[in-house]
Every structure is written in C-alpha cells, then in structure tokens.
Chains A and B, each alone.
Chain A
Amino acid sequence: MSTLEVKVWRGGADGGYRDYTVPREDSQTVLDVVTHIQRRVDPTLAYRFACRVGMCGSCAMTVNGKPRWTCRTHVAEVARNDRLEIGPLAHLPIVRDLVTDMREFFDKWARARGQFQPTATRRDDFARVEPASPARRAVDVGIECIGCGICYAACDVVAWNPAYLGPAALNRAWTLVNDARDGAMGERLAAIAGDAGCHACHTHESCTERCPKHLAPTASIAGLKRATALAVLRGEL
C-alpha cells in the first residue's frame, strides 16, 4: 500500500509540524488526508470544514506553502514525492492546529464599510438595474466571493501592514461602490482610501492567482483606486 508522509501543524502560534503517515487513495483530497488523521490517528486534531464541495469556504489551509481549499485540492495536484505539509492559513491568529481566528478578517469587511446601506423604503418601487450596465457587471464579478480567506492569506501587503483591509474586504467594498441602490458611497470611499486601504495594494496579484473562485480582487482594488482618485479630484472625498 502506498502512503503519504504528511506534516501537520499542531498547537498554537508557538507550535510546530508533526509527522503522520496516511494511506494514499485514488482521488484523495487534502481534506480527506486531514480527516483520516483526525478520525484514525489523532482525534485531538482541530480543523474546520463543512460542505466538502467548495461552497462554504471553511476548509482553507496552507498546503505545501500555498493557501488552498483543502476539499477541492487533490493530493495528486500538490504532493511532492508523496509528501504534504498542511498548516493553518497565514496572517491570522492560530486558535489551535489548523483552526485560525477569522475575526480580524471579517472585522475588516465591516471596517471597509462592507454593509449595504439601503436608500429606499418598502413603499418604494424596486430599483431598476440594467444587467448589462458596466457597474452591474463589475458587481457580478465581485459578489461571488464566499469569504474563505485564501486571498487574505496569500497577500504580502497584509503581512507588511497589519492594518491593511485586504483583498476580500476591498472586493466587497467595490461591489457596493457599484451598487446603484447603496447610499453610503462617500463614507465607504473614505473608509477604503489610504494607507490601510486600496492605496496600499502593490498589485502583486497573489489574491487573484490564489482565489479558488477565480475572482480578481486586484481588479476590484484597482477600481477603488480609480473611484477614490476621481472623488478626490471632484472634491467629494
């Protein structure tokens, strides 16, 4: 029987990698490997997953140095010489083992004014949004984000500037900047401009390269740079 040599992060921030041997299976995913260890080898291993089919985004981990959805990553794609290294997502505090504390990640969505601010009441008619309009199309691309944190873990700027809002929060802000029904445009642009916001992005495109949904947060951030620049030139920011 062929086997995999797997290193898995154990403990908190001061923990380390521990070695496990896992049987190699056909069509085996990295999540299958983690699940095998937890069920058959060491039940104290902590990790998160839910849907197992790439819908929920909760099983994101660092696999051989890169952030990935473990449920949608086949061992055959990533194992080198039947070796795997599985750790928690980068740039987030480790709770234990493969589980990170994602509060800061989601707090940044709120800090980027990621909440929809309605302008209409229930007595108003539906907003008419032309599906082919450029603004609506920009939203179409961005709203598919499921908040898995892969882009945040892949981003160099998050590591260098802990206040940086990150690709996911800025992508969310971009979808609202293009939402004709939203009434918090000025506040949102003020929230996402500056050193912790869109202007800190170096356009490395690690977020875009790693996003499992093939979204382009870099393009959303570039859109925010244009929007804030125009707002400043018009004296609106």
Chain B
Amino acid sequence: MRAETRLWLAQRASAAVLAICVAVHLATIISAVHAQLTAADILGRTRGSVAWALFYGVFVLAVSIHAPLGLRTVASEWLQWRGRGADAACAMIALALLVLGLVAVAAVTL
C-alpha cells in the first residue's frame, strides 16, 4: 500500500514537472520555427549549454517516471494485466525512455 501510494505521488509530482516542461518545450519549438533557425543554429545554442542539458534532463526523467506508471494503470484496467510481469514490463519501458532520452539530450548538448 505504501508502495502504491508512493508510485501515485511520483506520478502526480512528475505530472506537475511535465506541465511546465511541455509548455517550455512547445514555446521553444514555436519560437525556433518563427525565428527560422536551422539545425546548425539550434545545435550552436544547445551544445555546451548546462541550462538546456539540465532542462531536458529533468524533462526526460519526468517522462521516464510518468509514462510507465500511466501505462501500468492502462495495463491493469484495460488488459487486466497486473502483478510482477506488468511491473517488470513498465520498469523496462521506464529504463528505455530514460536511456533513449538521455542519449538524445547528450547528443544535442555535449
């Protein structure tokens, strides 16, 4: 029960972080398109930027927490798939999102 409550808290907290991250991310995309920045322009701004690395690092972390927990609920309610198998599958998805996301962040900021 404590674990379930903690997971619920983690999903709520990550949702709050995502609300801000998604807004900033969308504003960034729209402003980059409006300013007609090329890929090279964008990389010029993100490479070596600690701020962008931190921002997208946090974004990836929040996604890796939030999405698998949501999928876990979907698996439980719609597929009646619960227990260790479902938990393990969601943990794998969390790990995949975290690794792929951090690799992408590293690619544009390092």
Which of A160, A191, A225, A232 meets B2, CB within 8 Å? A232
Indicate if B39 sits at the interface (CB-CB under 8 A). Answer: no
Q: B2 to chain A: which residues have CB within 8 Å?
A: 193, 232, 237
Q: Is the interface of B mostly helix, strand, loop or mixed?
A: helix
A161 CB–B CB distance under 8 Å: yes
Alpha-carbon distance between A228 and B1 when the two chains are bound, in angstroms:
10
CA distance A95 to B82 in the complex (A): 30
| B78 adjacent to A199 (CB under 8 Å) | no
Total number of B residues with any Cβ neighbor in A under 8 Å: 12
For residues 152 through 199 of chain A, which have their beta carbon under 8 Å from a beta carbon of chain B? 157, 160-161, 190-191, 193-195, 197, 199
B41 within 8 Å of A (CB atoms): no
Which A residues are CB-close (under 8 A) to B8? 199, 225, 229
Main secondary structure on chain A at its contact with chain B?
helix
- Contact assessment for B77 and A193 in the assembled complex, using a CB-CB cutoff below 8 Å: no
Once the chains are docked, how many angstroms separate the CA of A228 from the CA of B91?
24
Contact B76–A161 (Cβ < 8 Å):
yes
Which residues from chain B sit less than 8 Å from chain A, CB to CB? 1-2, 4-6, 8-9, 12, 76-78, 82
Inter-chain pairs besides A225-B8, A232-B5, A237-B5, 13 sampled, C-beta below 8 Å = A161-B76, A161-B77, A190-B1, A191-B1, A193-B2, A194-B4, A195-B76, A197-B1, A228-B5, A229-B9, A231-B5, A233-B9, A237-B2
